Amino acid sequence: MTRKEIAIKTIQDLPDSATWADIEDRIRFLAGIDMGLADIRAGRVVPHEQVRESLKKWLSA
């Protein structure tokens, strides 16, 4: 599916009572997932162990 088709289906799947904010939130949520998946495919990720080490430093400060 194209992004446009996904957006249209997403809006159609929302309840008729959905507000403009509901629609915007859902589209932004899906766009964020799409961008995250693109980052994964491009190798722009941080290994789990590196995140754990960073958290240890931040939480002990």
Question: Rounded to whole angstroms, what are the CA distances from 53 to 17, 39, 45, 49?
Answer: 45, 21, 15, 6
What is the predicted pLDDT for the residue at 29?
97
Residues in the chain: 61
Q: pLDDT tens digits for 6-60?
A: 999 999 999 999 999 999 999 999 999 999 999 999 999 999 999 999 999 889 8
What is the predicted pLDDT for the residue at 60?
85
Please determine, for residue 61, whether its predicted confidence score (pLDDT) is greater than 80. no
